[in-house]
Structure 1
């Protein structure tokens, strides 16, 4: 059963997702905001639907209407199951709204409605709501300090620290209080916030998590990804830059400034590998094209004689296409994903529980039988799903199974908004490549090199080891911001070389 939701009865098929066993990294959340359109909450619901891949646990919307004030709705589950309800959406009127989809990293796991964002606070100069994508790495220290000074927390989320820091600020306006609060914060944050009249967007100085600006008619949009602009018919304007704050209102439009000390950016390279949707544009680059190019680099670095190149759907598909194009080995859909699983409820049996991956993935037996197969996947975390998929391929009669992985070995946990297992549970933290190959029991296993990944992302010379262009801590162990909370708990950083 999924550790993120309480046991359900009758039985919930979603609990048997092959990606719910800690073998896929999970992004924390997606954020979206709209200003200057009628019934903004409906646009936010559509945007959150497009960002559902960034968080499936829960979602929330806060809106403001000049006559009715602030209103909000927070729900567990998918956007489509909650925010398509006409009765609910009628309670969220107004031309300004923000929203959030969540997959918990910091804070309590499971069904705790008070942890669902956006968070709202009432200040002397009016109300404000905030939706945060990322992770605050000094949240424990901040929370301890705030509680000692009298703050009363309503959630276990690190993001609530920002509201309390704003409340204690001596600045006059809400945007200024937010600046003041965020100067105390360490880690990663891309934030969409709102007051009664303003939509606010801000990224941390390193720009670890994405945030972009769009235009819809006379209105404005902030979104984690460009794919969510597309769904509402908004035009992409530009990315919010690392360390930038934009304050938008209907009279003055977009006001931009940089309240933090400028530092070299360190955008999360795993957004290119897995987190972002392939139809998004990140850093001026097509995510799909970057992933296809990863496959090209993999084929150059790790060729192998085989009959078919098959993706592990769906995240391995662009890289598999690139590998096939560069190697000349035919691309084929050797594994078919059941797109219609949804939430199906049946009585639990041990036989059903043991089906695991087969409930959502099935091998194209007629294609695979007797073939030497290259399986292309985005990553290996614990290796549990990879072992199951390998066995399915062998059971279908494959002659050989070769894994090609579209990222370097994941050997270190992420503390910037990604749910990563403890380091000792990461396969690459305890095994070298040959040991992993033996553990997975495949004919060959190769990961793209860190330099190859950088080349695929547009860095022709590869990684600048003195000043890396991306955050790649999950691969390199080099953290651009010290994870203060985890160090306090005993986490050991990588020894200096």
Structure 2
């Protein structure tokens, strides 16, 4: 996941706009947040562990003047969740200093890290992001050419914002696996992972950054170049299913509407006699609305979510750990005696769904029918989801009925691949759905080079 944002403006408070844009992108990463600004070429970076509102306050924002800013919220997929990996990362190279934020995951960082180290370049982090920054920073070519040369070396998924002197840079991999949008406030250009961030700061959405495109904004305005030939379009379909905020638009399609259609199609594919349809909040809400509309079964909320849980650095004690899922969800008494349909977007490891089903039975539900608004997740992702091990995936080697037994439900059905694709309003050839089909759009890394913590010191990853 991860969220990235960038802006260049002489008149506007770029740090404050970045702060609010990151607020809109908080769902894409809760481990750390950061903003880098350039004032007359002088770079200042503030980044720390925690949520956007925990990292920044009014005094800190006032201390970040400048004309160019980039921001980042992190969800780790390569490298651990610690301060040295918080972004934007800064790399001081032979040719230039680069501040950079990255959404995605490279599949060839090991080879590139080895090359950089052999060239005498010191890397201060264990993420794949610094590899990108270091390659741009050491290249003596003019900035656009240095970025294009770096892009030709990278494999995997990357939507990147960077700050070099007084220039804002953004670029995207040739398959466009992770989203990146270009917007405008008056005469000022902005880029963001999702359109919801542009909406929040009052920017007009202009278009998506094209796969393989690099754009840069300097004192002379916006410039663009096609650094790589566009490959097969492969926007991650899990963005439609779960990642993106419902009010964002992906390739012109509103995410909420797509999720409602997923629920409607699911009701057609897997009808059931029941008394109530309810979501696993909040991820299952749009699909549950669609399921209820198409099935004619009443929609209600039977689970109340504690929206203040999120990711926490304070671990529960043993008694609370036994309560487990109740840290986030609690059932209402009114489900007692009812035949319940619960709708969620996906099942990955299965443990949460199993606990929820048992909780509903304990609360008196007569039947619990699970409906999932995506196909079974059967294959790991190498492009920005923290699941690079097939053993983590409950459905990888289980039939649907075996999954039903695993979660303890009365019945279980998934949305078909065709149904999911129909709901996105996009052709199957334009998305990556490898986690559902095992068909990947790029070359994959060697099996031994998948571990998230592979660049951490042995003591840190133990």
Partner of 2:75: 103
CA distance in 1, matches of 2:74, 2:29: 4
Query: Which SS does the other structure have where 1:418 is aligned?
Result: coil
Query: Which SS does the other structure have where 1:189 is aligned?
Result: strand
Q: Say whether the 8 Å CA contact 1:38–1:94 is kept in structure 2.
A: no
Measure how far apart 1:488 and its partner are: 5.4
Partner of 2:343: 376
Partner of 1:185: 154
Measure how far apart 1:226 and its partner are: 0.7
**Residue 225 (structure 2) pairs with residue 257 (structure 1):** yes
Query: Structure 1, residues 75-102: CA drift from partner, whole Å, max 9, x if none?
Result: 100001121x122222211121001111
Q: Say whether the 8 Å CA contact 2:183–2:207 is kept in structure 1.
A: yes
User: 1:472/1:344 Cα in 2 relative to 1: closer, same or farther (>3 Å)?
Assistant: closer
Q: Say whether the 8 Å CA contact 2:340–2:369 is kept in structure 1.
A: yes
User: 1:483/1:357 Cα in 2 relative to 1: closer, same or farther (>3 Å)?
Assistant: same
Partner of 1:148: 118
User: 1:488/1:39 Cα in 2 relative to 1: closer, same or farther (>3 Å)?
Assistant: closer
Partner of 1:11: none
Partner of 1:128: 98
Measure how far apart 1:349 and its partner are: 3.9
Partner of 2:445: 484
Query: Which SS does the other structure have where 1:482 is aligned?
Result: coil
Partner of 1:88: 60
CA distance in 2, matches of 1:168, 1:95: 24
Q: Say whether the 8 Å CA contact 2:232–2:441 is kept in structure 1.
A: no
Measure how far apart 1:56 and its partner are: 0.3
What is the correspondence of 1:265-284 to structure 2 with a 5 Å cutoff?
265-284=233-252
**Residue 411 (structure 2) pairs with residue 444 (structure 1):** yes
CA distance in 1, matches of 2:362, 2:171: 50
Measure how far apart 1:350 and its partner are: 2.4
Query: Which segments of 5 or more consecutive residues in structure 2 lack a partner in the other structure?
Result: 452-462
User: 1:417/1:433 Cα in 2 relative to 1: closer, same or farther (>3 Å)?
Assistant: same
Partner of 1:471: 432
Partner of 1:4: none
Partner of 1:118: 88
**Residue 262 (structure 2) pairs with residue 294 (structure 1):** yes
User: 1:145/1:485 Cα in 2 relative to 1: closer, same or farther (>3 Å)?
Assistant: farther
User: 1:310/1:348 Cα in 2 relative to 1: closer, same or farther (>3 Å)?
Assistant: closer
Query: Which SS does the other structure have where 2:297 is aligned?
Result: coil
Measure how far apart 1:345 and its partner are: 10
Partner of 1:222: 191
Query: Structure 1, residues 278-301: CA drift from partner, whole Å, max 9, x if none?
Result: 010111000000000000110111
| Aligned pair partner of 1:406 in 373, 379, 392 | 373
User: 1:318/1:161 Cα in 2 relative to 1: closer, same or farther (>3 Å)?
Assistant: same
CA distance in 1, matches of 2:200, 2:90: 27
User: 1:416/1:347 Cα in 2 relative to 1: closer, same or farther (>3 Å)?
Assistant: closer
CA distance in 1, matches of 2:208, 2:366: 47
**Residue 14 (structure 2) pairs with residue 40 (structure 1):** yes
Q: Say whether the 8 Å CA contact 1:140–1:485 is kept in structure 2.
A: no
Query: Which SS does the other structure have where 1:133 is aligned?
Result: strand
User: 1:59/1:340 Cα in 2 relative to 1: closer, same or farther (>3 Å)?
Assistant: closer
**Residue 205 (structure 2) pairs with residue 232 (structure 1):** no
Partner of 1:337: 305
User: 1:259/1:410 Cα in 2 relative to 1: closer, same or farther (>3 Å)?
Assistant: same
**Residue 318 (structure 2) pairs with residue 350 (structure 1):** yes
Partner of 1:157: 127
Query: Which SS does the other structure have where 1:354 is aligned?
Result: helix
Q: Say whether the 8 Å CA contact 2:37–2:69 is kept in structure 1.
A: yes
User: 1:33/1:440 Cα in 2 relative to 1: closer, same or farther (>3 Å)?
Assistant: same
User: 1:348/1:149 Cα in 2 relative to 1: closer, same or farther (>3 Å)?
Assistant: closer
Q: In the comparison of the two structures, how many residue pairs are matched? A: 450
Q: Say whether the 8 Å CA contact 1:206–1:265 is kept in structure 2.
A: yes
Query: Which segments of 5 or more consecutive residues in structure 1 lack a partner in the other structure?
Result: 1-26, 491-497
Partner of 2:217: 248
Query: Structure 1, residues 6-39: CA drift from partner, whole Å, max 9, x if none?
Result: xxxxxxxxxxxxxxxxxxxxx2x11001111432
Measure how far apart 1:128 and its partner are: 2.5
Partner of 1:433: 400
| Aligned pair partner of 1:315 in 259, 263, 283 | 283
| Aligned pair partner of 2:383 in 416, 424, 440 | 416
Partner of 1:169: 139
Q: Say whether the 8 Å CA contact 2:91–2:130 is kept in structure 1.
A: no
User: 1:255/1:348 Cα in 2 relative to 1: closer, same or farther (>3 Å)?
Assistant: closer
Out of 231-240 and 57-66, give the one that drifted further: 231-240
User: 1:344/1:316 Cα in 2 relative to 1: closer, same or farther (>3 Å)?
Assistant: closer
CA distance in 1, matches of 2:138, 2:165: 20
Q: Say whether the 8 Å CA contact 2:31–2:311 is kept in structure 1.
A: no
Q: Say whether the 8 Å CA contact 1:206–1:243 is kept in structure 2.
A: yes
